[in-house]
Structure 1
């Protein structure tokens, strides 16, 4: 198979697939999903590219995109690539301060914005900026500021470039594309300092296509991918580009809150996701099982046991299950498992990659047992996503899979840090030579910041983010993510932030699953006029304490959470407690809840 530069990828695929559908998107006015063909997609990209050239966009100029997932997002990115320009994605949830930082750091003159929220923030930045010159608005329903004379709606923008000069300019640029051109600059979340711009080349994405073709032979142009995670996230971006490489159809989910509805309407065969999605699936099924009685409860339990034996004890090891197990599995797969997957909307599933944070073995085993084709992976923005993922057979549950073809991975003997080398590794941190130097070893390996080990030659087991490791005042090292992953298995716990740095024992701030706790309280005749009174109730706290103790039974005594506080409000991005990828900003949480934390350590 040929591996194309992103500037020509869609156009090459359009010559093959022509009138076949490449994009689906929900039209909220008509309340239905609409389609765009490969030919039309290619045509729209060229119109966008011409308009950019007409607007004065130069080669390797940085073009910002501040939007939720929309089909115009992809038109803008691939229009930029046709001009040999650089895409700089900004999360749709970013604050004006975050937008301003990226605009200034990347010197963005042209910024594409999605809906009213993004336009309002971007216009505020533009009013105070000497850098940002123009906003181009995707959503025609956006109301512009009365004093805004420079912004233009996307449909009007792409109509402005259809002239011979722009067409010739783009044609010349397309003929001069290079694999070593910068494709995009993706800014990290900045959990431990100011954000850094990760510079990724077109050659990195072309290598992504090659190594995923080798690792994922099941996928084809017949697949339908649900675009769920933000396109500003490297996992979704690299995956979406790969699905275009394969010739798949992509359904674009604009509103993350609508994903459950979208999945049921689209019934995708593939979708990349983060553990939080599957944790919710697991909790929902567990509640169904817990509320069942008699024969139905036995049926659910036996089906999961049967699936675990069939898929994990035999199939995963390339072995043929016993006849009795095969017959039972066939029955359950076409009844219990199929109904479960139909309720979610994934009964046609071929492959569901999952990465971004740890998924507990308990949930992973359950999903494998009910025959959901989940594959766990590991990667970073700096490695253009995937470093490892599960192979088709012989994957190890507690691992993040085996090293992708073409990559070298080794472990730093000093601190067990995972080191990576290969064509998918970033070129540099944008305008940060000192940070770039620190990120690489003398022999050219990228320092991931993750501790791990290599088993059986190329299977990677993650231990912890090195910067997240705590050392208690008793001299014990604590890996907070491992503890959080265990405890978050409980259906009554939504989010947890473990505390342990330079204190005498481990504690935790816990955001309970309010719906589940409120239901339990009502069943036990506990009155709670306010949520604050609910989370402070002695009986509720005793119940949570008991469940925490059960979840952390496998931990060493010094690792166990000794005290905790239930919070009446969740951690949010708006309050700065979560990154755009929903990771907890430990420093922010520690500062914001200092009084509560200090109280847990009072004798």
Structure 2
């Protein structure tokens, strides 16, 4: 396999695939998916690379991309690489203050923005960012501020590169491109403290492509990938580069909330997602089973039982299922499983990488039982995504899969997972102290995650920094409890509280629709959501469900008290990071009163 530098990858693929479709994006006016061929992809990247020279982009310069998922994100990325420039993605949901920090830290002169929100945020901080010279706007529908005299639209930017006036300069820069060049700086939003810019060099991506080729042998240029997670996130970014390398068609989902519509329009064979996506699938099936009766219910339950034996007890272990079991499975495959997959939009599914949070055993078992090949994995921004992932056979439920080829993993003090290899970051941008704290003198990167190895299978136990110590001296892992309780169909979000407290409590954001339905069934009257969530019958419902789910935990680890919240945790209030992880210090601060109340009279 030839590994082309990202500076030339799109052009080499265009030579190979020509008019074959490389990308698709949705036109919201016509609800049509617009195809972009490999040749067009390559041509646009060349024009954009020339336009960057016209703008004055220098080799090694940092360029910002502040947008939701759009084809322009990829055009800009690859055009920058052709110029040996560095791209820095900002989450589309970033606040003006977050954007300001990154622009100033990375000294960004040119910022590419997506839609109105990103433009407004960027323009509002223009005066506070000394390095910032120009905003380039992807979406033509964006209305510019009347005071704005410098911003241009992307089509105007591309016009500067039409006819390739600076191609000699671009070609010369590309010829100097090396694996040692910096490709991206990915700012981790951090559950504590200010963001850190993780430096990923081209060597990190080239190695990631190589080891994924060894692991993901089923991935071919016949596959269609749904780009659902933000391209700002290392998981989706590295995945999309892998798709380009493999010749896989990428369908770009603009708005995360639209995924249930767009996935049915595209019906992809591949899609990276987070466990929450599969939790919702599981909830939907459980709800369907709950409201079904008679023979239909019996068949649904039997289908899951048969699938578990066939896929998990036999195929997972590399064993051939007995004939009767195979026949039964085939029957359910043609009926129940195929209907479920069609309803989701994944009946053409090949495999579905899933990471970003812990996957509960129940969800993992269920998804594999119904014949969906979910590849659970574990990775970090600092490791260019994948550290470990499931293989088609031999995966262990409860693990995060087998360690990737040629990546060194060892367990250090406090059971901390340590990593060493070519995909590991060389450090944090302009933060030598943070780099020295994370990478020891022997080159081992300290992940902050605790776990253990069983052969080559990696298991996570907890996030070391997040371990809570109760005032009785007992250690609690909040994620383990949150992962377990979050599978309940009535629970949308949960924050476990225990640090320096006498016992464990929780703040719970319910699925409001289900709670309202339950109230209707039970004839509970209420005026506000707050009133409903304090009703004894609703509190009792949650108490019973929580107690059932937490049975396997030691008594001191169980949630003793909880508060149901009338509004969800949000990024606006600073309670969630851009990747929707809880910022525990902010949650503790914002809900101090509610938390203190749970510890009264004790």
Task: Give CA-to-partner distance per residue, 1:214-268, whole Å, 9 cap, x none.
Answer: 0010010000000000000000000011011000100000011111100000000
Secondary structure in 1 matching 2:517:
helix
Distance 2:77 2:597 in 1: 50
Question: Which of 584, 594, 597 is matched with 2:595 structurally?
Answer: 597
> What aligned pairs does 1:15-30 form with structure 2 within 5 A after superposition?
15-30=15-30
**5 Å matches for 1:326-365?**
326-365=326-365
Q: State the 1:102 CA deviation.
A: 0.1
SS at match of 2:102: helix
1:51-450 → structure 2 map (5 Å cutoff): 51-162=51-162, 166-412=166-412, 414-450=413-449
For residues 441 and 415 of structure 2, the distance between their equivalents in structure 1, rounded to whole angstroms, comes to: 17
- Gapped regions of structure 1 (runs ≥ 5): none
State the alpha-carbon separation in 1 of the partners of residues 458 and 501 from structure 2. 31
Shift of 1:164: 6.2
Residue equivalent to 1:513: 511
Shift of 1:163: 5.9
- Give the count of matched residue pairs: 601
User: What SS does the aligned partner of 2:270 have?
Assistant: coil
Worse overlay, 333-342 or 26-35: 26-35
- 1:190 shift after superposition: 1.8
- Residue 7 of structure 1: SS of its match in structure 2? coil
In structure 1, the partner of 2:556 is 558
- After TM superposition, give the deviation of residue 441 of structure 1 in Å: 2.0
Equivalent position of 2:582 in the other structure: 584
Local SS of the residue matching 1:87: strand
Q: Distance in 2 between matches of 1:173 and 1:284?
A: 52
> TM-score, structure 2 length as denominator?
0.99
Aligned counterpart, 2:465:
467
What TM-score, normalized to structure 1?
Answer: 0.99
Offset, 1:391: 1.5
**Alignment partner of 2:546 out of 530, 545, 548:** 548
Task: Give, in angstroms, the shift of residue 165 of structure 1.
Answer: 5.2
Per the alignment, in what secondary structure is the counterpart of residue 453 of structure 1?
strand
Q: Distance in 2 between matches of 1:484 and 1:30?
A: 42
Give ranges in structure 2 of 5+ residues lacking alignment.
Answer: none
CA distance, structure 2, for counterparts of residue 399 and residue 113 of structure 1: 39
**Cα shift at 1:572:** 0.7
2: CA distance, partners of 1:164 / 1:553: 66
Task: Provide the rounded CA distance (Å) in 1 between the counterparts of 2:120 and 2:590.
Answer: 28
Question: Deviations 1:500-525 (Å, cap 9, x if unpaired)?
Answer: 00000000000001111111111110
Distance in structure 2 (CA, Å) of the matches to 1:212 and 1:164: 35
Whole-angstrom CA distance in 1 between matches of 2:240 and 2:118:
22
User: Match for 2:479 among 478, 481, 497?
Assistant: 481
In 2, the alpha carbon distance for the partners of 1:406 and 1:125 equals 44
Q: Please provide the CA RMSD for this pair.
A: 0.8
Tell me the distance in 1 between the aligned counterparts of 2:129 and 2:263.
40
Partners in 2 of 1:73 and 1:65 — Cα distance? 7
- SS of the residue corresponding to residue 547 of structure 2 reads helix
* Equivalent residues of 2:47, 2:164 under 8 A apart: no
CA distance in structure 1 between the aligned counterparts of 2:290 and 2:389, rounded to whole angstroms: 33
Greater shift, 77-86 or 23-32, is seen at 23-32
